[in-house]
Amino acid sequence: MTASELNDLSRLCIHTITTKPWAIEVAIEKYAAAGVKGITIWRQWLEEKGPVEVGKMVRESGLEVVSLCRGGFFPATDKAGRQAAIDDNRLVIDEAAALGTDLVVLVCGAVPGQTLAESRKQIQDGIGTILDHARAAGIRLAIEPLHPMYADERSAINTMKQANDFCDLFQDPMIGVAVDVYHLWWDPDLKQEIQRCGKADRLFAFHICDWLTPTKDLLNDRGLMGDGCIDIREIRGWVENTGFNGFNEVEIFSDSWWQKDQDQFLESIKKAYLNDS
Ligand code: ZN
């Protein structure tokens, strides 16, 4: 693929959390005006207007809803907690259908004080329990492996291999993987596991941002593409070599960017997307 083929906005998607200070109607208007084509909506941005109304606003703007973020968090130390998670995941699936997307991203969860193996078993049980509901609603589920620094309370699934192995347990076309460079860039097996994921037709989403040095906050110090040490273009090449032709989703949680002018941030995202990812 040549640089000029890479360098256009036709597959640029932005997560609403990236421009956190913007309400949903502002984000939709600004993204569309900037030439962004896709939007991934975080659930908080549905709270005010609801998924039906937000879906309508997105379609009228010409944007496409790429996915709803996020479901998951299946593990809990008691049965009531696990049941509450299942109920909430059924609700996320219904919200996604009402919004007009066919993809929910799962941050699978973990609980400090119980083993990762137990959490993985609970994740497997949880996904197994909601699968019929997802299938009936036509909603695919993307397991997003998270960097191991989140293994204590956000996800017991931390590598592409684990995500692939997990999908193998189900062998179901509704269950796949969201590849996020922030979580996975360090993994020596990443290229081969991305290939494995593509071969199984389960690479559902691709998230981009950068890893800053030093990282000041474990959650909210993600960098703009090109500001950190991830070779995003190389990983994107591996992803696209599998046949993936979906959106490149900019997902940046950043206390420092959120404090700046969001219009300027959006311009910086476009520039970084074209030049550094
Ligand atoms: Zn992500």
Q: What is the pLDDT of residues 104-159, one digit of tens each?
A: 999 999 999 999 999 999 999 999 999 999 999 999 999 999 999 999 999 999 99
Rounded to whole angstroms, how far apart are CA atoms 144 and 206? 10
Give the rounded percent of residues in the chain with a pLDDT score beyond 70.
Answer: 97
Residue with tokens 């695919």: 140
Residues around ion ligand 1, judged by CB within 5 A, are 180, 207, 251
- Measured in Å, residue 62 CA sits from the centre of ligand 1 at 23
Specify the pLDDT at position 252: 98
pLDDT tens for each residue of 29-52:
999 999 999 999 999 999 999 999
Delimit the domains of the chain by residue range. Answer: 3-276
Average pLDDT over residues 69-92: 98
User: Does residue 163 contact residue 187 with C-beta atoms inside 8 Å?
Assistant: no
- Measured in Å, residue 141 CA sits from the centre of ligand 1 at 14
Q: Specify the CATH superfamily of domain 3-276.
A: Divalent-metal-dependent TIM barrel enzymes (3.20.20.150)
Rounded to whole angstroms, how far apart are CA atoms 276 and 6? 10
In sequence order, the β-bridge partners of residue 39 are 14, 65
- Measured in Å, residue 180 CA sits from the centre of ligand 1 at 5
Two structure tokens written together for 26: 């502002």
Average pLDDT over residues 47-58: 98
Indicate the average pLDDT of the chain.
96
Specify the pLDDT at position 93: 98
Rounded to whole angstroms, how far apart are CA atoms 116 and 152? 8
Specify the pLDDT at position 67: 98
